[in-house]
Structure formats: structure tokens, C-alpha cells
Structure 1
Amino acid sequence: MPEVIVYSDADALAQATAARLLLSIGDTLAHREVAHVVLTGGTVGIATLEAAAASPLASAIDWTSVHVWWGDERFVADGDADRNEGQAQEALLSRLPLPEDNIHRMGSSTTFATAQEAAEDYVHQIEAAGIPAWDVLMVGLGPDGHVASLFPGHTGYEDASQGDAPAIAVHDSPKPPPTRVSLTLDAINRAREVWVIAAGAAKAEVVAQGVRGDLAIPGGAVRGRESTRWLIDAAAATRI
């Protein structure tokens, strides 16, 4: 069973998750030369990054030894407000002494003609980094139970023939924009720690499904090799 940690509200959730992230990075670097972290977008995800940037704990980390990745990205142009990496850049990355070579962005429609090409480029980035086992991988949970850009009943989640590639193109997403790039479920579950972050009463039912391990939703299928944590607020915890 995953560990479930409940906070009073979304703000407390973001603040606590930020502190937990920074401490985890510091602990990782105490034992290994490099830390690999996968970021998530969304309201609480970006609030978490903003809180991390403002935390005094951030100054204790050697950011030259941290590599940043994404679980998914919207296949839109550079600078588009929908881009997860742009939001993360503003909230956190631009405020850290993090080398540009350590930031592994998923490709945009400015750079690539198709989402498939962008996904293949991300696979190459992952392979060039030695196919890292992410130390912490954070995902938000959608009200339909989706994580990254893996949606229940959609080919990106359901199709077993997606192969061994850790990143795939996602077309006809039920949530706009329709074209995306996403890590696969296998790639997500290669992480040492997976943190599922959710807030709000509208997500209470899918949180309960996910905590129970209901494979009908992607949120129920994610799990870390060493630990799986559900970091939620009180409103999202009411059906557990």
C-alpha cells in the first residue's frame, strides 16, 4: 500500500511538498553524485515549485548536480502559456543556479514538426543520460484519474504495443491541448519514489481509486520502486 499524507489545504500541501522535495534532493546528493527529479505542472505542482524557490533549504543544495525532467508536455509552441516547462522556468528554474544542460525539456512545435519527433528526441535525452532511475518523480492527478498525459481509456495508457520507449506522443487527448508528449507508465514506475499530488473535493473519488490501486485509472497504476506517496489535502481525502 502507498503512504498517504494529508494536509489541511492546497497551500499547506504545496508548502510541505516543496520542503519534502528539497530535503529529498539533499538526501540523494549525500549518497549519490547526481539527483534526477521529474517535475509536474498543474496548480498545486507549480505552487510547489514556487514554494521551493522561496525556501531557505534551496540554498543548501548543489544545483550543478541536479537534473530536471518532465513527466509530460503539451506539444505547442515555445512561449505558449500551456507549456509546463515555461511555467516551471518562471516558478523555480530561473531562480536557481541550475546549469542549462541539466534541464531536460520536452520538445515544442517550434522545434519539431510532430509530437512523435519530440518524443523520440526525449528518448534520446534519456538514453544520453544513462537511462536514469528518477530519484523523485512527481505527478499531479486529474479529476478523471490521469497522470502525466496518460488518460483512462486512451491509447497512451491502454495500448500495450507502445514498446519499450520511455516517452511517447499522445494524440487526441481528452484534455486540451490534444497533442502531447508523455513518459510511459513503465518509465514513471522506474522512479525510486513516485509522489502523486492532488487537492480538492472534485478529486476525492479518483484519489480513493488510486490509493486502492484501481488499474482502471492511470493514477492507480503508478508506483515507485522504493516508495509511493500520495500527498493530498483534506478535501481530496474524504473518500479514502
Structure 2
Amino acid sequence: MSGRQVLVHADAALLAQAAAARLITALVDAQSARGTAHAVLTGGRNGNALLAALAAHPARDAVDWAHVHLWWGDERYLPAGDPERNAVQAAAFLAAVRPLGARVHAMPADDGSSAEEGAVRYAAELAAAAGPGEPLPVFDVLLLGVGPDAHVASLFPGHPGVRQSGGTVLPVHDSPKPPPTRLSLTLPALNTARQAWLLAAGADKADAVALALTDPGPDTAPASAVAGTERTLWFLDEAAAGKLA
């Protein structure tokens, strides 16, 4: 896959700090070029570690947060405030940047309506932030954690959602990883980002990383099918990179 770069750091903490520093630069560059920046956040241990490092970074406020839109690649379809929701786990980071004006677009929570309705609402929110007639804003940076099965967002190997070729947001039912109901950006939506950054740390990710980097296709390793239109970065620690040739 053209434009892909693999960056290996000594451990998970250094990975998070390095990615946070790069993200600050990427957002500042986007704002310099276009005035407003759009970033897609991810949860999980690596995504949350990156956000914690970003919140604490001394150069954090080099970003004009009043002109940043923060989106989510996926979310557990649980009631608002549930500690398993990605947006709740990112609360400390959001508390640091919201007062600076960051526009946070959390995915809908389970309020008794269906996940299908939640997907429609988030797709409409994305379209409202896009240019006329466009379904999505152009994401400057897309962050994705890579699961031990090589899933990204809530797109799982062999699961029907990974084959969806249209639309921007889909409901996910019977997820192989709990909870069973989720919302996720579609693979075509993920692949509109200028830069796609995939994060993996820990020996439990080594098999998934090695598999995905052989490009077996989305049904086998959804992570292998994600690419930025300008740049694709894989942020690994030494343990996650341990099975690369």
C-alpha cells in the first residue's frame, strides 16, 4: 500500500507521546492551510493513552482548539455516561480542550432509539459539517486502534459491516467484542481522511500487526484496508512490532 510508514517506539508510553506531538503538528498545519481542522478520535488503551498525552503536552495550546472539530470513528451504543463509552473514557482530554472551544461531536448514546437511528443522526451531523452536497468533512487526521484480531473502529474480520460499500455510518449488531451493539464509520468513510494513523502497542497485537501489513484484505484484517489519501502511519511499540520481518 503506497504511502505507508511504520514507526516503532520503545514502549507504549513513548508511542503515545510521539503520536501526541505529531498530532499537534498535524492540526497546526491543517489550520495554517485551511483554517479549520477535523480529527477522528479512537478509544481503547492506545487511543486513550494518546489523548492523555495530548492533554498534558506543553505545546497543546499551539493548536487553535476553537477551530478544531473532533469526531469519533466508532462508539459503543450504550447509555450516555456509561464508563464503557469511548467519549466517557476520553473525558479528561475533552475537559481540557472543550473550554478552549473544541467542537466535540460525540456519537449518539442509547436513549431507547435504535442503533440504526443513531447512525442516521451521526451521518446527518457529519454532512452538516461538510461542504455543500458532500457527505463528510475532509478529516485531516484519522486515529484508529488496531485490535488483536486486526479490527479497526467497529469493523471486525468477517463481519458484514466490513463489506459495506456505501454510506458513512453504520450500526453494528452482534459484535464479536462486547458490547454487541455499536456505531462505526464505514470503511469508505475512513478512507477519505488525509492522514490515517493506526496505533498498536503490546505483544497481544503482534500477530494482528504482522497479518495486516501483508495486506490480506478487509475480510481477514480490516486494518489492512485503511489508508490515508496523503499518508498512512502505523505507530507501534517494540512488542507490537515483534513479529514483523
Q: TM-score, normalised by structure 1?
A: 0.94
Identity in percent = 49
Counterpart-to-counterpart distance in 1, 2:173 and 2:14: 35
Q: Size of the alignment, in residue pairs?
A: 234
- 2:159 alignment counterpart: 154
Match of 1:66 in 2: 68
d(CA) in 1 for partners of 2:43 and 2:240? 18
CA deviation vs aligned residue, 1:101-135 (integer Å, no higher than 9, x gap): x211100012x511111100010001001121100
SS of corresponding position for 1:182: strand
**Does the 8 Å contact 1:23/1:57 carry over to 2?**
no
Offset from partner CA, 1:51-79 (integer Å, 9 cap, x none):
10111111111101100000000000011
Alignment pair present for 1:124 and 2:129: no
Cα displacement (A) at 1:89: 2.3
Aligned mates of 1:6, 1:235 — CA distance in 2: 9
AA matched with 1:113: S
Please say if residues 43 and 145 of structure 2, whose CA atoms lie closer than 8 Å, have aligned partners that are also in contact: yes
Asked whether the equivalents of residues 165 and 187 of structure 2 are also in contact (C-alpha less than 8 Å), the reply is no
Out of 229, 234, 242, the residue aligned to residue 238 of structure 1 is 242
Matched residue type, 1:192: R
CA contact (8 A) 1:211 1:230 kept: no
Instruction: Tell me what 2:133 maps to.
Output: none
Following TM superposition, by how much is the alpha carbon of 1:26 offset from its aligned partner in structure 2, in angstroms? 0.8
Q: How does 1:161-180 map to 2 (within 5 A)?
A: 162=164, 164-180=166-182
Structure 2 gaps of 5+ residues are: 131-135
1:99: Cα distance to partner?
3.2
The corresponding residue for 2:21 is 19
For the residue of structure 1 that corresponds to 2:188, the secondary structure is: helix
Which residue pairs with 1:221 in the alignment? Answer: 225
TM-score w.r.t. the length of structure 2 is 0.93
Structure 1: runs of 5+ lacking an equivalent: none
Q: Which residue of 2 aligns with 1:103?
A: 104
Confirm or deny: 8 A CA contact 1:150 1:157 kept in the other structure. Answer: yes
CA 1:38–1:124: 2 relative to 1, 3 Å:
same
**Structure number with higher helix proportion:** 1
Identify the match of residue 88 of structure 2 among 64, 86, 97. Answer: 86
Give CA-to-partner distance per residue, 1:167-220, whole Å, 9 cap, x none. Answer: 000000000000000000000000000000001111111101212222121011
Partner AA of 2:235 in structure 1: L
Amino acid at match of 1:126: L
Deviation at 1:20, TM superposition (A): 0.9
Structure 1 segment 193-204 matched on structure 2, within 5 A: 193-204=195-206
- Structure 1 ranges of 4+ moved more than 6 A: none
